[in-house]
Each structure stands twice: as structure tokens, then as C-alpha cells.
Chain A
């Protein structure tokens, strides 16, 4: 009696836990299919070739131009710019934390850096408007600092905690014997760091960068506030840009349901989703390689 009761509870709990796991997968699948379903409606109406090759996103015009190119270029610009800033900064900080910093400093610095991730994106966007924007305008002698560079700097700040935390784990996980062997062969501290430790941690560093990039690509509020939202194809980092995320955020609220414009917004959301999914998968792939490598 008692044993069968326990077995029943066992089975029940197993089912509950399995169900919670499946709910997450179901949610992901559901969201993906909802996006896909609505964007298929767009491709049925519009011309898929124009969508990828045209140069204008202008849903308000009579012709209705729906080209993802300027938006994709904008998203690419800020993501690339932010990585150019965040990758060296993040990896060097991580190296400092795991290899060079004294223990007391590390125990203070690590939580402080992780706290950076807790700043709401609206607050960072606000900084972009009142602080970074005017500073950029002064430094480059331009009239207004709401541009791709501004967005890049802010997104770099937001991606830093991810990059630093994962890189630091990767560098710390490099076996001590590697370093000892290198030092025993007469290599100095810096040669050991740059030619042994960092290359050994490379898969983890790539994973860190990919996950940071994923964060930067999907960010909405910050870029919406700080990049000027001009829909023209950007030519440089000092041009105002309008990312995919900002476009969806601005236009979704007002678009009449079930129109071409409405479906077009789903179509660009799918493109963004696929990009971030690929980048996250790539990040996970490298993170797994690191785990196997050290196991």
C-alpha cells in the first residue's frame, strides 16, 4: 500500500516536471510558428525579392515599400560597432579578473560587473540621449549625436556583463598544468597569457562574444531612444539608423490588423529571430565544445 502510493507520487511528479519542460519548448515553437505563419501571409502578398533587395522601408507610401535592407544594415551596424567596443574591453577585463587581479579586488569587481546587467535598458537609453549623444556631437563636430555610434556604445555597455562573465569562466577553466608547462619552458607571463591561456580558452571566448552579440541584436528600447530612427540606408557610424527592433516597436502600436504592413512587421521579426537563434546556437555550440574539452 505504502509502496504503491509512493510509486504513484513518483509518477505524478515525473509527469509534472516533464510537462514544465515541454511547456518551454512548446512556447518557443508556438512563437516561431506564429511569426512564421504571419510572415508567410506577407510573402504571399508582397514580393519576396523586393523584401531583400529593395532599399526603402516606407509602409506609409502609396506603393508600400517594404524592404528589410536598411533595417538589417542598421541592426548590423550597431551590433558590429558594439562588438568592436565590447569584445576587446570584455576579454581584457575577463583576463585581468581571472589571471592578474588580486583576490580581494576580484571578489569586489565581479559582482559589480554583473550588476551592470541589472540596469534597465530605458535608463541606458536615457544616458544615450543626455550624455553620450551630446558628447559624440562635440567630439566629431556634428550637429546631433543620435546615431549608430551612440547606439554601439550603449549596446557595448549592455553586452559587457555577458561577455565578461562567460569569458572569465572560460579563462579560469584552462587547466593549471598548461600554464605551468609554459612557464617551465621559460616563457614569461605575457607570452604564456597570449600564446597559451587565451588560445586554450578560445571556444569559450567565442561563445561569450556570440551571446553578447545576441543580446545586442535583440535590444530595443536603448536603440529606439538613442539612434535617431531615420529610415534611410546608413552610410557610416555617424548616420542616424533605425533597427529592426525599433521599427517593430514604433509601428506595431498603430498598424491596422491583417494588412500588408502588419504582416511585414512579422516578416522582419522572423528575420531577426532567425539571426539571433543562429547566433545563440553558435554560442551554445562553442560553449559545449569548451565543456567537452575540459571534461
Chain B
């Protein structure tokens, strides 16, 4: 009886065809993009299956550690604690940046301001400046349109500027609602994923280039070249972590992502590919 189960287990194991399925887990930000990539990859390579699930960057990395995923998608880099865990288990990992995500700072078209420094932006979003007087010389109140606190974009902007958002900031349900509100509001400011403004979504809006204390050269989130060079303030790399030992298995998928077809899917999904198209 015991052996019976054992045989059955082996039989089932062989059905899954471990070698032919690449399991990807992790970041919810990247899950849609990863699904699109996987679908078109499967069309080209019908014998290889790719399964994708979300759950957050942390979960993806934990799955990689527990051997339940081959690739971990992550919108943040792996932290010290996780590195120690991998070292304890003696697992060697490697990372691959397959795209860049950027966040655009958006205002209404007729607001007389052309670029913004990160310091000013922090003052505006934290509620220190309640009018546009000092930045745009207009006595209009600042209306902030942001995302709700369960959004990764909300946290990213907050952490990057190291501020607390003003309590008067409106929390909208999504990127599209933010853009719609700023279109109607001459004194509004908001932040959205760059994908929402890069494909003609910026009508009647102005995307503010951002500069920092150190680098006075204002960079627009729509400038793919600058983003490829890592020059934009609100950009984050989208990582894929994998075990060095399973590189051979996942190599076809990584190559596909790097290739022309993969990169153009990344571009049309609103992210920044790593190479010029």
C-alpha cells in the first residue's frame, strides 16, 4: 500500500513535467505585464509553459527561497534579511532587470510651472505649500490628487520623498480618476504611473520634469533614454530574481524578454524597456 502511493506520486510528478513549466511569482505591479509576456512567449514556444501569480514582491522572494517558484518578480531590490536567508540555505541567486517603471508628476496644462524640484514637490505634497504662490506665482490653492494608501505607487512616492502626504490630499480610486480630476482642476497636482500618460493620455495635462538638488537638469518621465540611464528621480527597476542553478531552464524566457518582441510588449504596457526600440 505504501509503495502504491509512492508510485502514484512519481506518476503525478512526471505529469507536471517540471522541466517544461516556468513558475513565476511576485509583485502585483508586474503581474499583468508578466502575463502578457508569458502568453506571447508560449505562442512562440508551445512546449514550454509559464505559470504566473501575484501576491507581492515579498511573497515572490519567499517562494523562490522555498523552491515553489523559478522566478521572483520584485519591484524592489532584495533586502539584507532575505539575502541572509538565501545564504543560510546555500542558494545562489542572480537578478535581472527586465524593465523600468516610472511615476509621472502631473498638473493642469495652464498652470504656469514647467518643472519642479524634489524639495518643492515634497513641500507641495506634504501640505507645506497650501497655494501655488511661491512656485507658479498664482494665488490658487494646491489640490493634491493621490492614490489610496493601499497602492504601491502611493508608498513609493511617499518613501522616495520621505514625507507624509498632506491630510488634505484626496485619495482617488485609480490613475485614470486622478488624470480626469486634474484635467478639470486648474490647480491640481497628482502622481500616476507613467504608462497612463505615455500613450496619448496626457491631453490637457502637463507632465512636470523633475530635478534634484544635486542634478539641476530636469528629467521628464517620458524621456526613455534618460530613464534607461537611471536619471529620473521617480523610477524603479523591476527585478526578476532567479536561482543560478535553474538558469538553463529559464534562459529561453529571459532571452525572450530581452529580445525585440519582449521589449516591445514592455513598452506598450507602459513600462520602459531596457534597450532602444
Contacts and interface: CB of A to CB of B under 8 A. Distances in A.
A229 interface: yes
Given A143-B184, A144-B188, A250-B148, A129 B177 contact: yes
B170 interface: yes
A230 B181 contact: no
A253 interface: yes
A229 B186 contact: no
A258 interface: no
Given A143-B188, A146-B181, A232 B158 contact: no
Given A58-B164, A144-B188, A230-B170, 17 more contacts: A56-B167, A70-B167, A129-B177, A143-B185, A143-B186, A144-B143, A144-B170, A144-B181, A146-B170, A224-B173, A228-B171, A228-B172, A229-B148, A229-B171, A250-B148, A250-B150, A254-B149
Contacts of B186: 143
B169 interface: yes
B168 A250 contact: no
A223 interface: no
A: interface residue count bin: 20 to 34
B125 to A, nearest CB: 13
Interface in B134-155: 141, 143, 148-150
A230 B168 contact: yes
Interface of A: 56, 58-61, 70, 129, 134, 137, 143-144, 146, 224-225, 228-232, 240, 242, 250-251, 253-254
Contacts of B181: 144, 146
B149 A144 contact: no
Contacts of A231: 167, 171
Contact of A251 (B149, B172, B177, B188): B149
A60 B168 contact: no
Contacts of A58: 164, 167
Interface of B: 141, 143, 148-150, 158, 164, 166-173, 177, 181, 184-188
A143 B149 contact: no
Contacts of A137: 184
A232 B167 CA distance: 5
27 contacts: A58-B164, A58-B167, A59-B149, A60-B149, A129-B177, A134-B184, A137-B184, A143-B184, A143-B185, A143-B188, A144-B170, A144-B184, A144-B188, A229-B170, A229-B172, A230-B167, A230-B168, A231-B171, A232-B166, A232-B167, A240-B168, A250-B148, A250-B149, A250-B150, A250-B171, A251-B150, A254-B150
Scoring A61, A134, A144, A232 by chain B CB atoms within 10 A of each residue's CB, the highest score goes to: A144
> 6 smallest A-B Cβ distances: which pairs?
A229-B171, A232-B167, A254-B150, A143-B185, A228-B170, A250-B148
Contacts of B184: 134, 137, 143-144
Contacts of A70: 167
Contacts of A251: 149-150
Nearest to A145: B184
Given A231-B167, A254-B150, A60 B158 contact: yes
A70 B166 CA distance: 14
Residue among B141, B167, B181 with max Cβ neighbours from chain A (10 Å): B167
Given A60-B149, A250-B150, A253-B150, A144 B185 contact: yes
Contacts of B169: 230
A4 B150 CA distance: 63
Nearest to B164: A61
A123 B188 CA distance: 26
A253 B154 CA distance: 15
A242 B170 CA distance: 9
A225 B177 CA distance: 10
Nearest to A57: B167
Nearest to A61: B164
B95 to A, nearest CB: 26
B165 to A, nearest CB: 8
Nearest to B186: A143
Nearest to A227: B170
Contacts of A61: 164
Contacts of A254: 149-150
Nearest to B167: A232
Given A61-B164, A143-B143, A242 B171 contact: yes
